[in-house]
Structure 1
């Protein structure tokens, strides 16, 4: 009897997650080498100061808030939508799940684009892919990547989550290697490319451009909510979770500060390449290889690591984001045809919707001047939608602190209720403002033709992705009231798909490269939206008894 009790105790101890492991798990989801590149191009060497500021006034409180939310809703698994549902009702819970899923669409498209770019470096050893691919071919290759990985996901399931974790750790290893080798190069007398390299160079200029790029910093640093379900699996969450977050902060500080410093060594922060966001990671490791006379060795190591990680991540995202949406919203707000699964339990129509919306996002950017502009625009779109979804975290935190007796927690971030609410509102307001300011296009001349076009497609993408979430409950009600159990007849489906295809195909032939034709393309998509709404409104159905 005693030996059995002892075995149970040992088994329970084995199931605990230690705070260093949790910190490492969280770190993989929070920051990566590409995040350093993106923000280095936005702010230059002054991004070092921005990383420090964001670390103390944003990342640490954000992570600790997530810890309390995960502890409060441990029985629901700690998902973001369950936090909002538990505090504000079913509909907001559904809408949170939808916006979280919608925000993932630009992310998976960006991931597919990164796979294509990475393969170009793996096989060409340089940045010549842009010279060989038109915008249309780049878009088609990205769509092909989607199709391939949806097929892969149907064959290999949970193993790909393991692969993405391995890839994430490998990516972290490459980043640490880059920092260490950079300091080794300085010891050997490497000339610093950014001049003057002084205190003034790392101080930011607080203007509109600076504040418009904060959304990208938030996009780079969010993701801590993914480890929230593991808080309750710690032996002493009240004391161990803060330790994990301190370790996370130290690791993030090391990577962001010294990583950005290292980039300033190899790149002149005052004259950066225009394609740094798309190719900067490869340029960096290429420069490192030249410094140590090993050619493209480091670049190829990074390129294959990037492709491996992005491929695994894409496959996991395509499955996880769709499953979360379908399973977490239930039948009350989500149409039956989207909840339909095949023989293997896969939400096949959800996959199709993901592909259609991904194609829509790719189509919006296809008329930008070149492939680099498409990559940059899509990345900046993530810097809008991702912080927007993060607002739900602070909204839920404010709600649980307003009703503390209703939402007890083993771990509490800031015991004083009033101060906790001030911090919660601060985080919500900062994130919301960064989201709105991020709508202003980046990486193009202000108020140029391309700037206005990017502003228009930013707004269209947001309206379509979020607007569909508002329409779905209405479609669900139509299904439930229909005598045939369907929201639309076959003729209506054919008509809607035909209008959409005609508009899309026409835009390729008539769009050209002129701004006027691009606006025609936008107008055509808007017209399709109006026609779809009219068709929905005209649907006749017979209420079931």
Structure 2
């Protein structure tokens, strides 16, 4: 039974904005241009064609078919393949998001620092005499408590926050596109980074001209499209889900795929790679601020404003992108505080969990108890990793490494389950993109090859680059450890119920 009334359900627009905050990373555009220049565009197009677009179409079909299910990706895989398969994949996926919350609770303050100070000053922040890492941990704990409290009040609060985040991400793209074309026209259609046939196939960055560098960027481009499955738990919360949900995913996917490539092209209209991005001070962390600051400055120059005014415009553009990134991360936090736990708790067999954990709030149908336990777990890990000194920091880094692959392997398993989904004619499919089973199977194979390649390369890259066997071991260990924990939990369920 749904606890959400029609008024609080997701509309097409709010669903698309939620997809934006969960998938689209504006800084990926600036980072892509930093690493590859225009030659990033073919990689993003290939990644969209071999992973994001076919994968999003699969999720569209799943969502429409299982529109009444509250368990999201768990329900999709359970109904298509079986409960054990579904639980192991969903649990692995969920635990990686827990680690994402821990790491993001500290890093989210960097864009906010840029809003107020024009640069990252978090290494100097101190509350009550605490070190900067302890200060960021305290802020992360406060943030986690506030978000859990607000999100547990109901879908309406989540929808409002993610809509704000999604709106600012969309606005940042509009500013980038409009600003880039203003500069282009004002400069007589002369681009800052020359466009030639070779510029789409050769990186200006010396570090990304080797085979390892190119393969590494391919992985970066694939994972830039990740996170769409987190929306799966919201099908039953969507207005007219059999139509709105697949339409929202289709529109969101196409806009994101086009937006990335168009955005990278537009950066070249006002940014010369050698002149702006080749400096040693430019890196993946600050590329977004530098690119947007440069856009503001070049708009001022193109409009023949004074150098001081142009510099100030650049600073305000840089601060705006900091605000956009902060709000987008807050929006993603709200979605990911609720949607993954909802799919894990509401989709899986009730006997897997203590009764109090799976209890839904009588007023708004939210899994409040589960959300607060999740909050406590995240806070405990934040405290342990912030107060434990150097060894605790190392432990957090290892946790992040363990979640890298564990977060993306489920993409392949969700795609694999699509074969059984299409085979099962008893499942009502009100929305169909893959008309033939053969076509669906080909799409599944392409997605699985792309995701598997990306993960294998992610695992072996530390060894190829710097003989870092430790990072490789922990990336392999992550999925294995999470799978073992899932199997132990499921084995306990089988013993209790006698089900195999």
* 8 Å CA contact retained: 1:401, 1:420: yes
Query: Are 2:134 and 1:140 aligned?
Result: yes
Residue 286 (structure 2) aligns with: 279
What displacement does 1:80 show?
Answer: 0.5
C-alpha distance in 2 between matches for 1:245 and 1:314: 20
C-alpha distance in 2 between matches for 1:324 and 1:231: 12
Change (3 A) 1:245 1:309: closer
Change (3 A) 1:121 1:321: same
What displacement does 1:104 show?
Answer: 0.9
Match of 1:398 among 419, 430, 435: 419
Residue 369 (structure 2) aligns with: 346
Equivalent position SS for 1:103? helix
Query: Are 2:422 and 1:388 aligned?
Result: no
Match of 1:252 among 231, 250, 256: 256
Match of 1:268 among 262, 266, 273: 273
Equivalent position SS for 1:94? helix
TM-score by length of 1: 0.70
Change (3 A) 1:67 1:121: same
C-alpha distance in 2 between matches for 1:110 and 1:16: 29
What are the residue-to-residue correspondences of 1:200-211 with 2, within 5 Å? 200-203=198-201, 207-211=211-215
Match of 2:439 among 409, 419, 424: 419
* 8 Å CA contact retained: 2:148, 2:375: no
What displacement does 1:394 show?
Answer: 0.4
Residue 332 (structure 1) aligns with: 351
Query: Are 2:449 and 1:429 aligned?
Result: yes
What displacement does 1:267 show?
Answer: 5.5
Largest Rg, 1 or 2: 1
What displacement does 1:52 show?
Answer: 1.7
C-alpha distance in 2 between matches for 1:98 and 1:213: 28
Q: Deviations over 1:262-309 (max 9, x none)?
A: 334425278365663222222222222322212411122222232233
Q: Deviations over 1:421-469 (max 9, x none)?
A: 1221221222122122222457x99215xx4443344345444444433
Residue 179 (structure 1) aligns with: 177
What number of residue pairs does the alignment pair up?
Answer: 456
Q: Deviations over 1:174-227 (max 9, x none)?
A: 122022212222333398564x54221221668343334434323321333455
Match of 2:336 among 293, 317, 338: 317
Query: Are 2:468 and 1:468 aligned?
Result: no
Greater relative CO (CA pairs within 8 A, separation 6+): 2
TM-score by length of 2: 0.75
Change (3 A) 1:262 1:363: farther
Change (3 A) 1:437 1:22: same
Residue 40 (structure 2) aligns with: 47
What displacement does 1:231 show?
Answer: 11
Equivalent position SS for 1:413? coil
C-alpha distance in 1 between matches for 2:33 and 2:226: 17
Which 5+ residue runs of structure 2 have no aligned equivalent?
203-208, 301-309
* 8 Å CA contact retained: 2:147, 2:333: no
CA RMSD in angstroms, aligned pairs only: 4.3
* 8 Å CA contact retained: 2:116, 2:319: no
What displacement does 1:16 show?
Answer: 10
